[in-house]
Structure 1
Amino acid sequence: MRSVRALGAALANHAPDCATSRAFVAPAACSVPRRAWLARAAATFVLASLAPYAHALTGTTASPDPDALSPQQSAAFRAWFVRIVDQQMRRGPTPRWTQRDCAGLVRFAVGETLKSHDTRWLRANGMTSLADTGSMPPELQLSASQRTLANRWTQLDGSTGAYASAIALIQRNSRFVSKDVNQALPGDLLFFDQGDDQHLMIWLDRYIAYHTGTVTPTDPGLRAVAVSDLMQWKDSRWQPLDGNPNFVGVFRLDFLTP
């Protein structure tokens, strides 16, 4: 399996191409909500500059979530989330990750982060070597209800469940941070809108990770790229710059503090 460095080098021949999950979302799930969503987007970014915690891409602020993680819990969550995504990049996707696209990578990593990372979990995820166990983040101390957050994503229609498309993760489960990637924290999401397709990337601080949405016998679809390289991407639609209309911005999962 290719290393992060090798995956980064492979980016030269692969433009990000993961849309909202094709296997689980009907086409109307993107097109119908998008019209109302895009109409609100410009006004929302103005509001966001005045109210940084406004709910993502809406004009209102969501009610406080009683299961929201504290600052200390959020820091531990970010550390585990980054570790789990990085593990997929370095060693290849675990068979336990079945819904393989850009949003699926986010959902999988969130679900695994919220689990108890005991000996059984470490063994199942190939993290039993001394190098792994010697650098583990502090364990997340969560309530039973907090551990079920990954099964309670809000859908575009307001229902909840274990699945959420890329646009649902952003529109209903995250809040806008900035169009300046310097404001991103590890575990934040970069969201791109290419018209009929939407795409997520994950900010890991040292690099950006994403899944292309396509898997072949020789290519797991995982990509790693330095932010400096993405800033100069030959296809400017994927550059995370304020002046790029396809780059919607940096978003943060709603249950994290800050």
Structure 2
Amino acid sequence: MEVDQGSAGDGAATSTSTTTATRDGASVSAGFGGSNDYVEQFKILAKTTSGRATVAILEKVMNHKQIYVFGEILELERVQMLRGTEFEGALRALEIMAYGTLGDYEAEQSSLPALSEVQQRKLRMLTLVSLASKQKSLPYATVRTALRMQSDREVEDVVIESMYAGLLRARLYHRERLVVVHWAMGRDLRDEDLDAVAEKLSAWCENAEVVLGTLQKSIAHVQSTRASESSERKDLSLFVAQMVCDGQKRS
């Protein structure tokens, strides 16, 4: 990701770099969203807890700066046992962190625990990931509204921070106030989302079969054309050779 002072339509400015560039041009390698090692540690702890102790673990998970996927934690029996208890708000907060947005949290804020500063920042970054997965060209204004931000500088900061965390790859066009997304991390899925994902995969497979069929026809056509051209060249060579022989005989 780069902060570009040029135009989004300038082909010469296109970058294929997979590194993160800060405003002063310094580059660092992007990280990766989530950490299996940390998640495994929390899973082990959560398997033997209940009630308030489980909530404490969820707080640590949501505050952890290297964990951005939560499905494995959510599916734990001890975590699901919070549903219907006085601690259900903590479970719901984790669900929103897993596949929701800042707007979802605000809609239920009265029944949810307050988010720490780290959790708020993380939820903003994950909300950005959701935006980036749906729209590859994001005006600063769109990001600013969705993330409840006041300035373009805040927008650039959260994009850069998300890049450092490995949540997305993108390019900032400061002059045009535009974020161009190249890739965004996949977030956790709810059970009700699985059918839609399956439909998309099925449609992709069907399209792939159509493309494959078209390619096979094109290959067959090329092979047929080459065979025909080869036969014509052979016939022409024989014709020329016969003409030469006839000419020699007449002479």
Please classify the TM superposition score into its range, dividing by the shorter chain length.
Answer: under 0.3
Q: TM-score normalised to the size of structure 1?
A: 0.23
**Which has more helix, going by share of residues?**
2
Q: TM-score normalised to the size of structure 2?
A: 0.24
**Which has more strand, going by share of residues?**
1
